[in-house]
Structure 1
Amino acid sequence: MKTKLLLLSFLLMALSAHAQEYIFGKVRSEFGSELPNALILNTRTGEKVNSDKDGNYMIGAKPSDELRFVKSGYERSSTKISTYNYSGPLNISLTHSAYLIEEVELAFQASGNLKKDVKSLDPPRRVVALNSSMDSYMRTPPIESSPKLITPSAFAPKDYNAGQVDMVKAVSALIGLVSKTTSSPISTANYAETQAFYRRIKAELDLSFYTSRGWTEDDIDRFLIYADNSYSLAKKYRKSFNVVAILSDMKMAYQEYIKTHKVGT
């Protein structure tokens, strides 16, 4: 009898030592929405599971195992498992990947001839001609001079400062000259700076104007790329985040964007 009890104790200890421990939780986007069909991988065991329609998941893991979370259109995330993770859910937030270029449909088949294929991506001739005409018009000086109100010299008050140096204007000119030589020119944003600028817009600006029109996160991302390409938002405002100026440029870009893009409901 004692032998059987001893064997049973050893069996229970062995089963306990090899018992599988599980990690569970929920996968969400950076805006809090559940992400279904996200892939969760245990890099040590190779076990894979997918989150359900509500973003919930459960996967076997031991302490120090690495879980990798992957979802199409989102940045990949990895987490090291510790004993703390067994006491509650391990919830993961995935950041949406920003688009590098605006999504377009190409109406031509690549021929393999680089010069020929590159020309197919050029803007339409009408657009090029219109931009050229507008640029030329803006650079042309006005033909007619604007009328000026001039007081006859007989009625003009006597200028007691004639021949004297205006110190206020001189100092102002000197300050302007120094600021021009010391200020650094506006540089083009690199990829990392551009993505950080997009994330700051979505985090700090009130985008209810767009979401109230039924725009999704993808719609807003595509529009930000369009507005950035049209008005150089990241180049002008990534270092000096002027909310009023950014919203103004975005509103102008919106008026042009809705003419050629179908978004929202």
Structure 2
Amino acid sequence: MIRLLFIFAFVGISISAQQTVYGRITDEEQHPIPATLVMNMKTGFQAYSDLEGNFSINGNFGDELRFVRKGYERVSLLFNNENPRYVSITLYRVAVAIEEVKIEQVKLTGNLETDSRNLTKIDKAEILNAEIGVPKPPEKPRETPPPTVKQVGVLLYALSNVMNFNHLYKNISGDARRMRTQYRYEDLQDNILWIRKRLDDDYFTNAGIPEEKISEFIAFSFHDNPQIVTAIKAKSLTKAMFLMEEKMPIYLERLKVK
């Protein structure tokens, strides 16, 4: 009987000792940081902050909570009576000295998964520059393809071909169509790369998306909701994440059908 009471008392103490820590993760300017890994180093429990930087994770007194986000300094917090159950965590960007790096231009193959993987691996100097805030050099402008009927109407389209022999040649030869197709593909790759530079693969795999399907899912979400591309142009990662998360269940259902 005494042994049974001892077991109940021990279980009760263990349950009471385990608590849930809530909190919010922001940068030095108090902007929320989503997709931050929160890990209990003793139990191995993991959680991620949401779009507003909020998180919750279970732990016992004495456990170390670690906050990890690519591009930011790591923060650790000891869970004890001195720290409240709701905490505010501030992560600071990592300043990295950039060595001179020779960047080889990658030729797009036309295969979505291959190109996305290659583009993700290259341009490490550009990633560091972006994290630190170094402005990019001006990009080389594209050659503008001839206007389409949908863009300018039938009359102006006809005048464009009559007044500009180059436009007429490109429309007849199919060069104009190929240019527009190539530009759309390059824009798609740029937008996929923009997302993958800012979100770790764990963000997608934890939602059930296979690692080899991440770029495919991102492209699917762009097609299903063009507002995601608009958010990328506005440099709004939070909005892009919110809109992509709405498409995750739909994409996962399609994977099951396949």
TM bucket (normalised to shorter chain) is: 0.3 to 0.5
Question: TM-score if structure 2 supplies the norm length?
Answer: 0.38
| Bigger proportion of residues as helix | 2
Question: TM-score if structure 1 supplies the norm length?
Answer: 0.37
Larger Rg: 1
